[in-house]
Structure 1
Amino acid sequence: MTGPGRILARAFHDDPMFTYIQPDPARRAAVLPWFFDTSARLGRKYGRLDERPGAGAAIWLLPGRGLGLRQLAGAGFLSAPVRLGLGAFRRFGAFTSELERAQRAVLEQPFLHLFILGVDPDEQGRGHGAALIDPVLAESAHPTYLETVNEANVPFYERHGFDVAATHQPDGMPRFWTMIRRP
């Protein structure tokens, strides 16, 4: 059985955001399991982590709960500059700043944030993504927000009630979509 870090690393290995952050595929394969294990820890401690063992995971940030330095440190993200490497860490910071700017432009608190949803490439198309998000969406009394850097994901999210809020094309960075689902 594989934990969420390895599964999510496989799911996002060729994702435009992560190929931008870490262009070298071997280095990306080495660092993504750490990144997603740390993200899963963040979800467990400060949000919600839903898993389909061996298939996929969803990490949610809960309404009204922002992430500050204390939460990032508690999950283990303070080692990111060393783990990612300085260049990748700078690209990560620049891109996440764009994501945060886009988020503030389309939605104010409180909202449920689908922070990460990933399904192992060998398991895609078998309903795992829907099984991970549908129960949470059904019970949420708040708007749900997400960003996707993969245009192929937009129709999946639209089938689950999300609407594109905006398309963003930051200079020199991957294009991304912000999406909102009203309760």
Structure 2
Amino acid sequence: MEIRTIEASDQAAVLDTLTLAFATDPVTRYWWPGASDYLRWWPQVVFAQGERGFEHRGVSATERFEGVAMWLPPGVHADPARMAALDMPGTEEDEAIAGELRVEMQRHHPAQPHWYLLALGVDPRFQGRGVGSALLRHTLARIDAEGAPAYLEASNPTLIPFYERHGFKVAAVIEVRDVPPLTPMFRPGRA
């Protein structure tokens, strides 16, 4: 399976795949339970968070975008101004819950420089065919060559064994109010 690094010019294809892949994700759909809200806001949010991954060769995909991985390399972070500029609808309670979740997520992010897997998604038509594994292996080879650690938050508990097969270990479980649990997972650097 051919995996290639993706440029920002292909952002629409990347976002289309991730939108299909996360349509049943428990945490994502907690924030946007309605289909129209999900289809409007999820692509904007994932792009705002992962846009810098394009600049640093952290976004990869299969040849026809059956699957996509969006990584942020060490020292590269989402631009908070991009997220704030989205001006998403919501109540004060929604904002309070989102703030609590951000605090907990930040608390579990490794202090040392690391690669952060923001999103890994496979078009549902191609799930179960090794696409996600091929995408992970592609970037983990680069990460291992650097001897760097990797980190992610699994937003669907059914995916924890998948990530464990690729060397990630559960670091904690984040539970904030009625938000479905997020599972921070860490993969130490390999020399």
In structure 2, the residue matched to 1:154 is: 160
Q: Give the TM-score normalised by structure 2.
A: 0.78
Query: Alpha carbons of 1:144 and 1:49: their partners in 2 closer, same or farther (altered >3 Å)?
Result: same
In structure 1, the residue matched to 2:182 is: 176
Cα offset, 1:24, TM superposition: 1.1
Give the letter aligned to residue 135 of structure 1: H
The whole-number CA distance in structure 2 between the counterparts of 1:58 and 1:98 is 23
Q: SS at the partner of 2:132?
A: helix
In structure 2, the residue matched to 1:60 is: 71
State whether residues 52 and 78 of structure 2, in contact with CA within 8 Å, keep that contact through their aligned partners in structure 1: no
Cα offset, 1:37, TM superposition: 4.6
In structure 2, the residue matched to 1:22 is: 32
The whole-number CA distance in structure 1 between the counterparts of 2:94 and 2:56 is 25
Cα offset, 1:8, TM superposition: 0.5
Paired residues in the alignment total 175
**Does the alignment pair 1:115 with 2:118?**
yes
Give the letter aligned to residue 85 of structure 1: P
Name stretches of at least 5 consecutive residues in structure 1 with no aligned partner: none
Name stretches of at least 5 consecutive residues in structure 2 with no aligned partner: 1-9
The whole-number CA distance in structure 2 between the counterparts of 1:33 and 1:86 is 17
Cα offset, 1:136, TM superposition: 1.5
State whether residues 100 and 176 of structure 2, in contact with CA within 8 Å, keep that contact through their aligned partners in structure 1: no
- Fraction of identical pairs, as percent: 30
Give the letter aligned to residue 30 of structure 2: Y
In structure 1, the residue matched to 2:104 is: 101
Q: SS at the partner of 1:168?
A: coil
Query: Alpha carbons of 1:56 and 1:39: their partners in 2 closer, same or farther (altered >3 Å)?
Result: farther
State whether residues 114 and 150 of structure 2, in contact with CA within 8 Å, keep that contact through their aligned partners in structure 1: yes
Q: RMSD of the alignment, in Å?
A: 2.6
The whole-number CA distance in structure 1 between the counterparts of 2:95 and 2:125 is 27
